[in-house]
Chains A and B, each alone.
Chain A
Amino acid sequence: MDDATSQRLNRASSIRQPWALWRLQARIVRWRWISSLGVTSILALWALTASYHNAMLVVQAIMPTIIAWLSVGCLIDDPTIELSAATGLGIRRLWWMRSSIIIGPSWLVAMLCTWIVAKDWLIFGYSTLLMFTALSLGHWMTRITRYSLIGAMLISFILLSQWVAPFWWLPMIMKQRTQLEQVKQYLFFPLDSHAAFQVLLAERHWNVLMLGSLGLITALWAWWLYGREEALILPRTE
């Protein structure tokens, strides 16, 4: 092969990858995005036929957790990851492409469901924030123990979706201490935390929106940062 041919074959790839490569990535993570989309769609259908109460449960807690759980392992489960990361595209773009493929369709379904049932973008923003936060946490955990996906799922579900955010984090920052008393009555019924959240949202303050936006930006930044990490899937010691 002459130099000209070699240079042509070796030309730098752009950030915008061709459709064929997206299709191949979708094929590699197919069980993840199909499961994510399937579960989210089933939950969304259930929410559509049920009450506002159930819809909130879907978008607030279950959906983001499931999507996050299915996304965290998209690199570490790949047997060829060292090869793929060391040549050509690099691990950062692979992470972006794959997590976008897994999250994207489910996120759209959840968005549609939220709008049809609740017509409440605030709730949707909050669930998206939870999803990215759970994703970040789960991804961070996979760096420590590599295969602790179940742990990531449980922790992200219980800690973020059900306990910390609705009962402590939001009320404390919002300084709505009077409403916190109302919230606490739900403390021992974690699956009813949507009700606690509803109480918190009873008076719609702009600070909630601002806080949600800030959280979302932070979570997106964390997602981007994880994508930059070249040695993402390596164990700490060898």
Chain B
Amino acid sequence: MSLIQLENISKHYGKYQALDQLNVQLEGGMIGLLGPNGAGKTTLIRVLTGFLQPSQGRASLAGCDLAQPEQLAQLRQQLGYVPQHPAFYPTWTCSEFVDYIAQLKGMHATAERKAAVERSIQYVGLSDHANKATRQLSGGMQRRLGIAQAIVNDPKVLIVDEPTAGLDPEERLRFRHLLAGLGNQRLVIFSTHIVEDIVQTCRQVIMLKKTILYAGGLNELLEQARAAQVSWDLTSPTPIYDQQLVIVSSSNDEQGYHYRIVGQPPAGSNAKPASNVGLEEAYLWMMQQASA
């Protein structure tokens, strides 16, 4: 059964087309939503949370048709959401805020709610800061508090919008582990423009640039990219400054300058097809195809 189902979803703001004819059918687990800035990731997430109505098409999440108010209300009770810029009431403590969100989610039985709040705060490692005002938290801690409020009702669906943007490497690593753990038990939609985050945590990926470029398994995508020979290894005696080339990585030694490029290599060069293709190369290839 498909847990995410999009049929011809389009969204426009006036004349600006944010999403164009999205069609997706994916199963549960951890799903990465990958695309450049302005690709429509946040708009798609707002459609999936029911916050925005699509201009056209039909979307369902975890078996709930988002166009049906009753089903949308039902989904909201099972949904955890971390917006791109999670914001809190600055004078409230972490516990108070998570408790408030729990009440909004319909958790009215006090004892159970308090236990759930404590559990979620503990899960994200903020127990020592539970009684601290949210304005006193660091950026990374605020992101973790965002996760705590999202999982307080043990949701079946968790949607996280660019949670690792702007975090230091240590905090980003911690966040990945956190999300990977949550993805074992529920559907997690993880939006990001950082390819490495997807590689480390997701088995399925949706690549978006206003329209769907790819939706499916990560391994299948890499196989496709390998078969299409999307990346090449190139060695040059002198540095290459060609702005037309999409250079993914570079190094140099006594034999010359070594480059990994995506797309067609320059004519007459000694480029050889790369034996291993990573997601970053596949992603750039997809973006090139979309721009072509």
Closest to B80 in A: A87
Complex contacts, A24 vs chain B, CB 8 Å: 100, 103
CA–CA, A88 and B155, complex, Å:
11
Which residues of chain A in 1-46 are interfacial with respect to chain B, using CB atoms and an 8 Å cutoff? Answer: 1, 5-6, 8-13, 18, 20-21, 24, 28
| Contact B13 A80, beta carbon cutoff 8 Å | no
A-side interface mostly: loop
Choose from A18, A88, A231 the contact partner of B76 (Cβ within 8 Å).
A88
Known A10-B78, A12-B74, A13-B106; contact A86-B154, beta-carbon cutoff 8 A: no
Per-residue 0/1 for B84-120: is the Cβ within 8 Å of any A Cβ (1 yes, 0 no)? Answer: 0011110000000000110111111100110010000
| Contact B89 A11, beta carbon cutoff 8 Å | no
B side interface size, CB within 8 A: 43
| Contact A13 B80, beta carbon cutoff 8 Å | no
Give the contact stretch, choosing among B22-30, B45-53, B203-211: B45-53
For the complex formed, measure the closest distance between the CB of B43 and the CB atoms of chain A, giving whole angstroms.
7
Complex contacts, B73 vs chain A, CB 8 Å: 12, 90
Complex contacts, A8 vs chain B, CB 8 Å: 109, 112
Complex contacts, B74 vs chain A, CB 8 Å: 12
CA–CA, A90 and B71, complex, Å:
13
Known A12-B106, A28-B89, A236-B13; contact A87-B154, beta-carbon cutoff 8 A: no
For the complex formed, measure the closest distance between the CB of A96 and the CB atoms of chain B, giving whole angstroms.
14
Complex contacts, A230 vs chain B, CB 8 Å: 50-53
Complex contacts, B156 vs chain A, CB 8 Å: 6
For the complex formed, measure the closest distance between the CB of B263 and the CB atoms of chain A, giving whole angstroms.
30
Closest to A94 in B: B104
Complex contacts, A11 vs chain B, CB 8 Å: 77, 106
Q: Report the contact-size class of chain A (Cβ under 8 Å from the partner).
A: 20 to 34
Most buried by B among A79, A88, A237: A88
CA–CA, A189 and B288, complex, Å:
67
Complex contacts, A88 vs chain B, CB 8 Å: 76-77, 101, 103-106
Complex contacts, B109 vs chain A, CB 8 Å: 8
CA–CA, A6 and B156, complex, Å:
9
Known A79-B88, A79-B89, A231-B52; contact A9-B153, beta-carbon cutoff 8 A: yes
Which residues of chain A in 78-119 are interfacial with respect to chain B, using CB atoms and an 8 Å cutoff? Answer: 79-80, 82-90
Per-residue 0/1 for B106-139: is the Cβ within 8 Å of any A Cβ (1 yes, 0 no)? Answer: 1111001100100000000000000000000000
Does A172 lie at the interface of the complex (its beta carbon under 8 Å from any beta carbon of B)?
no
CA–CA, A80 and B81, complex, Å:
12
CA–CA, A5 and B43, complex, Å:
33
Task: Write 5 A-B pairs (CB below 8 A) sorted by A numbering.
Answer: A12-B77, A80-B87, A86-B46, A86-B49, A86-B81
- What 6 pairs across the A-B complex have the smallest Cβ distances? A13-B106, A79-B87, A88-B105, A88-B104, A86-B49, A237-B13
